[in-house]
């Protein structure tokens, strides 16, 4: 094993030595059942409380919102099946994606066989969900959206906060499978509009056979496993004390090391890109911000450098960006098919029709292609662009305002013909 180069940490990780050290006494000397009433066992109950507090703290959650399970698959099954039972009693509609883990996909198939309807969304070439497509898929009977936080095969991080905003705007619950994300990147359940979240210990140097499900306080999910009053009556079975101690210790270590690891990954990402910042006269944060606008303007990778070039030209000339995606962000509705004059009046520093320069920060998580498009923007003299009238998703570029207005009028007529208001 000394010659092994292990590159499959998305599948599982080795237990951290400090995690193993923390667990070992609970296999031998401290083996008591935490549900028992005598002092020897009660000490283990206190340890479970501490573990719950550690994990809750990492999520910005309350300790009573954390329920220990046997792993991510059980957590996913619990979230989907019990939400369907509680909120989709007479059938109903679930939205997920085609790239979910089998714990989600197979559970959705199970629910389909029992009368529920499921929409499986496509993703783009980077694995990202299109927010407009997501919102368009919502029906009056949609009761749950379940989309993974980070993909286990290609590493794509989905726009979780924005997905949660869409779900809550329509009164829909939002679950995320965060098995690949928890312990790796910052997560705040309230700030990201998450109602339920699944995680598994062995993905971040904890033990196998232990995970948890975050369930927002107030949700009416019932027991998934029956036969006892463990986990506040919601999950029967003698608690896996060594595993719970282990996942809490792994969480503690992951949180302590996260900032350093993220800095290392960021520095690695920018190592070959730093020299290109001077060409576009932007710092890292500004590149992220502009890249997020470019990404929302076009999902066509080949078009991104040209779009970025337009914005670079406008910034250098002191012209307002007048980027429609920033208005959608300011309004709080990415589903808008048409930005109207009333939307342009919203008073927000993100409204680039009202305020010059870049907005205060990114409006979404940009793809690497979008970041590279800003750094390698196309050198041209275009100052305007507009979606093509054929509604293909491509854009037509213009040097002058008159030329742009003609293009914009053609696009507006195309929208009118299709009844898009």
The Cβ-side half-sphere exposure at 315, using a 13 Å CA radius, reads 17
Domains parsed from the chain with CATH numbers: 17-255 (3.40.640.10), 280-382 (no CATH)
Q: Kindly write down the DSSP assignment for every residue of 138-199, as one continuous string.
A: --TTEEEEE--SB-TTT-PBP-HHHHHHHHHHTT-EEEEE-TTTTTTS---TTTTT-SEEEE
Provide the pLDDT for residue 38. 81
Question: How far apart (Å, rounded) are the C-alpha atoms in residues 338 and 418?
Answer: 12
First to last CA, the chain: 63
Structure tokens at 213: 């499900």
Question: How far apart (Å, rounded) are the C-alpha atoms in residues 360 and 286?
Answer: 9
Do residues 151 and 100 lie in contact, with contact meaning Cβ atoms separated by under 8 Å? no
Structure tokens at 394: 């491509």
Pairing of the two strands 66-69 and 211-215: antiparallel
Do residues 176 and 129 lie in contact, with contact meaning Cβ atoms separated by under 8 Å? no
pLDDT per residue, tens digit, the chain (421 aa), is 678 899 899 999 999 999 999 999 999 998 988 888 787 877 888 999 999 999 999 999 999 999 999 999 999 999 999 999 999 877 899 999 999 999 999 999 999 999 999 999 999 888 999 988 999 999 999 999 999 999 999 999 999 998 999 999 999 999 999 999 999 999 999 999 999 999 999 999 999 999 999 999 999 888 889 998 888 888 989 999 999 999 999 999 999 999 999 999 999 999 999 999 999 999 999 999 999 999 999 988 999 999 999 999 999 999 999 999 999 999 887 777 788 889 999 999 999 999 999 999 999 878 899 999 999 999 999 999 999 999 888 999 999 999 999 999 999 899 888 887 7
Radius of gyration of the chain (CA): 24
Query: What pTM was computed for the model?
Result: 0.82
Do residues 97 and 129 lie in contact, with contact meaning Cβ atoms separated by under 8 Å? yes
Provide the pLDDT for residue 228. 87
Question: How far apart (Å, rounded) are the C-alpha atoms in residues 258 and 249?
Answer: 14
Provide the pLDDT for residue 148. 98
Provide the pLDDT for residue 167. 95
Provide the pLDDT for residue 43. 87
CA distances from 351 to 93, 316, 321, 330, 341 (A): 35, 19, 9, 6, 12
With 0-12 CB in 10 A as exposed, 13-18 as middle and 19+ as buried, what is 86? middle
Rounded to 5°, the CA angle 225-100-290 comes to 130
Question: How far apart (Å, rounded) are the C-alpha atoms in residues 130 and 137?
Answer: 11
> Left (φ > 0), alpha (ψ -120 to 50) or beta: where does 130 sit?
beta
Provide the pLDDT for residue 393. 84
Instruction: Give residues with Cβ within 8 angstroms of 316, minimum separation 6.
Output: 281
Do residues 138 and 379 lie in contact, with contact meaning Cβ atoms separated by under 8 Å? no
């Amino acid at each position: 094993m000394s010659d092994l180069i292990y590159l499959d940490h998305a599948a599982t990780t080795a237990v951290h030595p400090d995690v193993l050290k923390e667990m070992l006494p609970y296999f031998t000397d401290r083996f008591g059942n935490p549900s028992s009433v005598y002092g020897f066992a009660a000490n283990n109950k206190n340890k479970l409380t501490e573990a719950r507090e550690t994990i809750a703290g990492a999520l910005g959650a309350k300790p009573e919102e954390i329920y220990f399970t046997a792993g991510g698959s059980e957590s996913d099954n619990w979230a989907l099946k019990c939400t369907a039972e509680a909120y989709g009693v007479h059938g109903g509609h679930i939205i997920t994606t085609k790239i979910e883990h089998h714990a989600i996909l197979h559970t959705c198939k199970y629910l389909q066989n029992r009368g529920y309807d499921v929409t499986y969304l496509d993703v783009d070439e980077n694995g990202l969900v299109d927010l407009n497509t997501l919102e368009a898929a919502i029906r009056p009977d949609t009761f749950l959206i379940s989309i993974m936080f980070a993909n286990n095969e290609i590493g794509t991080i989905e726009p979780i906060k924005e997905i949660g905003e869409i779900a809550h705007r329509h009164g829909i619950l939002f679950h995320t499978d965060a098995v690949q994300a928890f312990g790796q990147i910052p997560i705040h359940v309230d700030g990201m509009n998450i109602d339920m979240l699944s995680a598994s210990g062995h993905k971040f140097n904890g033990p196998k056979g232990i995970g948890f499900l975050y369930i927002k306080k107030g949700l009416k999910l019932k027991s998934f496993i029956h036969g006892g009053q463990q986990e506040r009556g919601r999950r029967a079975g003698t608690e896996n004390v060594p595993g719970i101690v282990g996942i809490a210790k792994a969480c503690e270590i992951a949180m302590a090391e996260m900032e350093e690891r993220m800095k290392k990954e960021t520095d690695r990402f920018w190592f070959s890109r730093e020299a290109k910042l001077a060409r576009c006269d932007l710092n890292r944060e500004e590149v992220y911000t502009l890249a997020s606008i470019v990404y929302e303007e076009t999902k066509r990778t080949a078009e991104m450098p040209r779009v970025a070039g337009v914005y670079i030209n406008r910034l250098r000339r002191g012209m307002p960006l007048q980027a429609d995606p920033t208005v959608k962000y300011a309004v709080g509705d990415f589903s808008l098919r048409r930005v109207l004059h009333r939307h342009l009046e919203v008073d927000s520093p993100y409204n680039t029709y009202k305020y010059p320069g870049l907005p205060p920060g990114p409006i979404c998580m940009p793809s690497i292609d979008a970041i590279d498009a800003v750094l390698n923007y196309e050198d041209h003299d275009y100052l305007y662009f507009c979606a093509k009238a054929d509604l293909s998703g491509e854009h037509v570029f213009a040097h002058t305002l008159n030329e742009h207005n003609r293009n914009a009028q053609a696009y507006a007529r195309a929208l009118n013909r299709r009844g898009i208001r």
